[in-house]
Amino acid sequence: MITAYPTVNAILEMLLSDVDEVLENRFTGLYLYGSLANGDFDPERSDIDFLVVTDGELPDAILPSLAAMHARIAASGSLWAKRLEGSYIPKQALRRYDPDHANHPSIGVDWGFGVNGHGSDWIIQRHIIREQGVVIACPPPRTLIDPVSQEDLRRAVLETLHGWWAEQLSQPDRLRVREYQAYAVLTMCRALYTLEKGGIVSKPVAANWAKQALDARWKGLIERAGAWREEDGIDDLQETLDFIRYVLILT
């Protein structure tokens, strides 16, 4: 049993079988990170975050086959077929994040399959995969990824906050979606926790810490983000933008 959720296991078994068939001897391993790894998976709102490790860079000729594979999975009718979010990274590039070699095939809930840049947040993802990742196939992730120091984690958090997240303030289209408002608020809590404590914790743990550690005016926003459900009728756009500004000023 891969996870405690039979329907999740079914889509993961399909993914493993299909990836192994398409990649053949280029396939090295398949791992879960995100909420399924850190213990805050919520069947009503979580995605399935996965990493496929490959032996060498994938040739362009194989990418259409992977795209077609993901299209078949998406059309399979599974509850989770369109909640897969993952990357294909060669083991040579996985060991330590290098911004000059960070373009890899990926697919997400909000984007189709293709080669995309992987930002400095992948320093954080490497740490999570190494320390908490769920192994679906092949070697333990600690054999593939170097240890990530607290200094590197803090640097990655700061780069992500003052890079990608700062841009959302001037282009807040994503944040008009209720789900993304909740995601942004909880991500800010996790970022502040990492900067303060030097470690990575789940969104609920970070939210509980932030409600105690931050100004009381943010408590309601954090609680609403933690309780978010699809179409809950709440619009926290302005307060979410204010919270992001607050975090950027703090850091």
**Residue 129, pLDDT score:** 97
**Residue 176, pLDDT score:** 94
**Residue 76, pLDDT score:** 94
User: pLDDT tens for residues 58-91?
Assistant: 999 999 999 999 999 999 999 899 999 999 999 9
Q: What is the DSSP pairing of strand 27-33 with strand 134-137?
A: antiparallel
Q: What are phi and psi of 48, to 5 degrees?
A: -110, 105
**Residue 86, pLDDT score:** 98
Using CB atoms within 10 Å of the CB of residue 66, give its burial: 0 to 12 exposed, 13 to 18 middle, 19+ buried.
buried
pLDDT (mean) for 11-18: 97
**Residue 75, pLDDT score:** 95
Of residues 167 and 228, more confidence is placed in 167
Domains belonging to the chain, first-starting first, are 6-143 (3.30.460.10), 150-250 (no CATH)
Mean pLDDT of the chain: 95
Distances (CA, A) of 198 to 72, 124, 141, 152, 154: 41, 11, 21, 9, 7
pLDDT (mean) for 85-112: 96
Distances (CA, A) of 192 to 150, 180, 200: 13, 18, 10
**Residue 40, pLDDT score:** 85
User: pLDDT tens for residues 162-190?
Assistant: 999 999 999 999 999 999 999 999 999 99
Backbone CA torsion sign across 158, 160, 161, 164: positive
Residue 232 has pLDDT above 90, yes or no: no
Compute the radius of gyration of the chain from its Cα atoms: 18
Non-local CB neighbours of 230 within 8 Å, separated by 6+ positions: 44, 45, 178, 179
Rounded distance between C-alpha atoms, residue 90 and residue 117, angstroms: 14
Residue 230 has pLDDT above 80, yes or no: no
112-135 burial, b for 16+ CB within 10 Å, e for fewer? Answer: ebeebebbbbbbbbbbbbbbbbbe
User: pLDDT tens for residues 22-53?
Assistant: 999 999 999 999 999 988 898 888 999 999 99
Residue 1 has pLDDT above 80, yes or no: no
**Residue 26, pLDDT score:** 97
Per-residue confidence at 229, pLDDT binned at 50, 70, 90? confident
**Residue 233, pLDDT score:** 83
